[in-house]
Chains A and B, each alone.
Chain A
C-alpha cells in the first residue's frame, strides 16, 4: 500500500510538526486552531496507516528511509510565517487531491470524502493568515515573502505520481499553481521563482530520501515507544 503510506505519512509528520506549536502560539486562538488542524491530520494518518498495517508499528518502528512523506511536510516550523506557508502549500495540495479522490471510486474515496471537509478548513485558515501576514505590516510582509520562497523548492514533489493513486497529476499541479498564485497575489506577495525541486532529489521524500531535520524529529517521536518493546499503552 505505497499510496496509503505516502498520504498517511504526510498527515502523520505534518501533524507532529504542528503539535510542536502547543503552548508556543502567538495568540490563544491559534493554540486552538493549530491543535485542531494537527488533530484532523492525526486522524487521517491513523486511518491511512491502518489501511497499510498496524498504525503504531508503522509510526514508531520504521526508520527514516522507510517513511514516504513529502519533504515539505517534515520541514521545521520556523517562525509563524514558515508554518503558514507550509500549511498553505500543503493544504491546497491536499484539498485538490482529496476532492479528486473523493469523486473517484478508488479505495481512498471514503476517507477523502470526509477529509476534504477538514482540509477545506485548513486551507481557509492558511489563506486568511497569508493575507494578514502578507498584507499586514512591513515586517510581516517580509517574513511571509521569505517563508514562501524558502519552501518553494519543496512544492514540485507533491505532483510526482504516487503508485496506486489514480489522479491527474499535471492537472492538479496546474490548479495548485493557480490557487496559490491567486492567494499570494491578494496578499501582495510575489509568486516565488526558481526550481520547485532540489537538483538531485526529485520525488525524494516519496522514495525515503529526507532532509536532515527529519531524523531528529523521528528520534523524539519514537524514543519512548522503542524503549519499551512490545508494551501496550
Chain B
C-alpha cells in the first residue's frame, strides 16, 4: 500500500536497531500498519510480545500437524481398501508437509526447528488437545477428516488474513489441502453410513466420540481465554473462540443430517431468535485435564515422537557428517550446533 510506504521503511530500518533507540516511533509505525491491514514481514520491527505470541502459536500449530500424524497413521496399515489406503497415506504426508511450512514460518521469527522440537519433546510447548484422543476404529479416520479438519479449517481460514505475512501465506496453502481432507473424511463417513448396519454403527460411534473434543478445539470460552484480546488487537486472531465454535456447529448440523448420523447433544436445536443453533455445555474439566497431560493418549503421543527423534539421531548425525566431508558445511536437515544429540541427552 503506497500510503504506508514510509512507515514500512521506518519499521524495516528499525529491525536490529540498538536498544538505546527510542522505539516509540517504531511502535507507532507498527500499530499503523496493523490498523491499515498491512502485513508485517520478517525484517520489520515488531513488539517483542507480538513476536513471542506468534512463535508460540505457530510452533504449537506445527507441533499439532506432526503429532496429528499419529492417530491417523495408526490406520494406514489397516485401511480396508487400496483407494482408502492411498488417500490416507497422502493425507498423512500432507500433514508432514504442513509441519514443514509452519516450522519455516516460525523460523522467520528468529527461532529454529531444532529448538522448537526440543520444546515439544520436553513438554514446554503444546500441541492441539484433540490429538490426545485415540483412533479406535476405521470410522475414526472419517470423523477426524470431517470434524477435526472441519474445526481446523474454521479456525484457520481467518488466519489467511493474519497480520504476520509468512504465517498468513502458509495458511493459504494449508487451508487448500485441509479442505480436501475434510471432504474426503465426510465422504468416508458417508460410505460407512450408507453401508452395512455394522458400518453405520461404526460411523455413529466415531461421531459420538469425536464431536465434543472437536468443539474443544476452538479453545476455552471467551471469558477464560488468556491470549484472545491481545491477539485480536494485533490481528493475529480475527474472531473469538466462541464465535468460531458457533460457526462450526451451524455448519455441522445440516452435514450430520445429510450423512444420516446424529450429533451426541440432547440440547442441540435451532434458535430462531439468535439465528444459530443452541448447544449443550462443554465439559471444560475434561478439556483442562487433557491440556494438562491427563488425556487418553498424551503420554503415548509424546513418547512415540521422542522415540522417533531419538532413534533417528544417528541418521541426522550421519547426514551432517557426510555434508561436512563433502561440502564443508553441515546439512540443513541436521543438527547444526556441532554438539551431537547424544551429548546433549
Which residues of A are in contact with B by a Cβ distance under 8 Å? 12, 16, 19-20, 22-32, 35-36, 38-39, 42-43, 45-46, 49, 55-56, 59-60, 79-80, 131-133, 135-137, 139-140, 143, 220-221, 223-225, 228, 230-233
Contact = CB atoms under 8 A, between A and B. Distances in A.
Interface size class of B (residues with CB under 8 A): 35 or more
B318 interface: yes
Interface in B141-178: none
Query: Which of A30, A35, A79 has the largest number of chain B CB atoms within 10 A?
Result: A35
11 contacts: A22-B89, A23-B69, A24-B304, A31-B93, A32-B96, A39-B93, A132-B322, A140-B314, A143-B314, A221-B77, A233-B84
Interface stretch (B25-33, B52-60, B191-199): B191-199
A137 B93 contact: no
A133 B326 CA distance: 13
A46 B80 contact: no
Contact of A140 (B66, B76, B92, B318): B318
A221 B78 contact: yes
Contact of A28 (B99, B198, B304, B318): B99
Contacts of A45: 82
Contacts of A225: 80-81
Interface of B: 66, 69-70, 73, 76-86, 89-90, 92-93, 96-97, 99-100, 103, 138, 188, 191-192, 195-196, 198-199, 304, 307-309, 311-319, 321-323, 325-326, 333-334
Given A136-B319, A228-B199, A39 B82 contact: no
A140 to B, nearest CB: 3
Contacts of A30: 315
A221 B93 CA distance: 19
Contact of B315 (A56, A133, A232): A133
Contacts of A79: 311
B82 A26 contact: no
Given A29-B100, A221-B77, A232-B191, A19 B314 contact: no
B314 A139 contact: yes
Query: Which of B93, B100, B304, B334 has the largest number of chain A CB atoms within 10 A?
Result: B93
A59 B79 CA distance: 11
Contact of B82 (A20, A55, A137, A143): A55
Contacts of B78: 220-221, 223-224
Contacts of B195: 231-233
Nearest to A50: B82
A30 B97 CA distance: 10
Contacts of A42: 82, 85-86, 89
Query: Which of B83, B90, B321, B325 has the largest number of chain A CB atoms within 10 A?
Result: B321
Contact of B322 (A131, A143, A223, A232): A131
Contacts of B191: 232-233
A23 B308 contact: yes
A225 B195 CA distance: 13
Contacts of B314: 137, 139-140, 143
B315 A140 contact: yes
Given A32-B97, A225-B80, A46 B333 contact: no
Nearest to A45: B82
B99 to A, nearest CB: 6
Given A31-B69, A133-B315, A136-B319, A22 B76 contact: yes
Contacts of A230: 196
Given A28-B66, A55-B82, A220 B77 contact: yes
Contacts of A139: 314, 317-318
Given A32-B100, A220-B78, A231-B196, A27 B85 contact: no
Contact of A228 (B89, B198, B307, B313): B198
B92 A80 contact: no
Contacts of B315: 26-27, 30, 80, 133, 140
